[in-house]
Structure 1
């Protein structure tokens, strides 16, 4: 049972409500139903019509009006060959088809590891239609700790693995968050990435992984105060999309971003 003040619990509950609402967005992460690399020759793919291909720099889709594909941005039908170009790590919600309104399945074009792929997003996926929120631990005031941000002189690009073994990633580390945990007599130092408006995000392992939580999680802080301190609230630790779907390319933690503690706070492993 949490002994946090009512205001703390209310703020956390608002955070949880917003988080669950974001996950339940139409054609969001819970609707992924495939990840498929494009071939050099025009080829059929699973779950969506048309012939798909890439020459390495451009992705192409050839389809006729009878295939029922339309452009996501304009709603115009695809009748012939269309192309698109992306930079690495970019994505484009490109075409859609199926269902009463022709929008049941949205095809996301993505560039990952220098190669083109598509992901299908189906609004009738059971993972999406049966979603009723992410299970969490009870709120734990003792897992709200103060941390000190020690910025690097320059950001460091650290090679990392991702949820897809065929996709390598890069973690742009801007510094370390230094803190202690209740019951532990040593400091932790975790690499952090910078987000919008100077916020920081830490991707981490802990000893609940593979037990009550997914293989790794992440937690974000506000922008550091002028003295370099931040509040690190593990009650706001969340899963990456790869916890909900096998079709994610989510980044794993950098080496040594592991805690020798059970962080029984934040999101648990999603229900099947």
Structure 2
């Protein structure tokens, strides 16, 4: 049997990537399980979908619960009886307590600090978005959207204010440079701000002409670490949705203004199925 061609190898790698991506989305208490996002107030009060009384003094978040509330701590499984506080930094999250289901772990309550304010999100493994998930629709693999480009690093990272999927939460994009490349159908170079990822990789959040039609309002693509000469490979077949494509309870970052590709990037993930 002959060895696989380069195209066959690319397709096989992409199929493995897709399998891993769908498996990650299908994880317990993952992004597909979000069922609420609620800000904490200054007075202890009950919130929707979660037992107990919740509040914040601005510096920390406080939960008061009784035995009949059925809450336990995610970290230890110990019952939540009495008053407890937690302190987070901005953009931090903590899967704090849990309840429900046969084993008391169906719903995890995530404590989050966003825009310097405390909120909770409920992560319910009984959510229909989660239980009915069968994979994210995608465009077929297209080798023409595996594009060579270059990375032009800034001397120092630049903080760029951005919006997020939640209109009450502002964000900051820490740009470490620009990814520069050509795409079919555009004569000029495309320049997109990039953020740093682990092991020298890059993350690019972008708009394109498919947004709101066959794809979500924006997507992102991870780029392997640039080579010593600055060259990069951008595989738009691996463009993925942010969690906000699957749930209204995300606070996902929007692209930097101008991070747009002025053609239809018909590669990568599409709008999730209803």
* CA displacement 1:77-112 (0-9 Å, x = unmatched): 000001100000000000000000000100000000
Asked if 1:119 is matched to 2:121, the reply is yes
Q: How does 1:76-155 map to 2 (within 5 A)?
A: 76-155=78-157
What corresponds to 1:61 in structure 2? Answer: 63
Q: CA RMSD in A?
A: 0.9
Give the drift of 1:38.
Answer: 0.2
Runs (4+) off by over 2 Å: none
Residue segments in structure 2 that go unaligned for 5+ positions in a row = none
TM-score, normalised via structure 1 length: 0.98
Aligned residue-pair number: 270
The corresponding residue for 1:233 is 235
TM-score, normalising length: structure 2: 0.98
Deviation (angstroms), 1:64: 0.6
Unpaired runs of 5+ residues, structure 1, are: none
Deviation at 1:183, TM superposition (A): 2.8
Aligned to 1:249: 251
How big is the shift at 1:147? 1.2
Match of 1:198 among 190, 197, 200: 200
Partner of 2:52: 50
Distance 2:261 2:223 in 1: 18
Say whether the 8 Å CA contact 1:148–1:178 is kept in structure 2.
Answer: yes
Structure-1 residue corresponding to 2:273: 271
- Contact persistence 1:4–1:141 (CA under 8 A): no
- Alignment partners' CA distance in 1, 2:197 and 2:96: 26
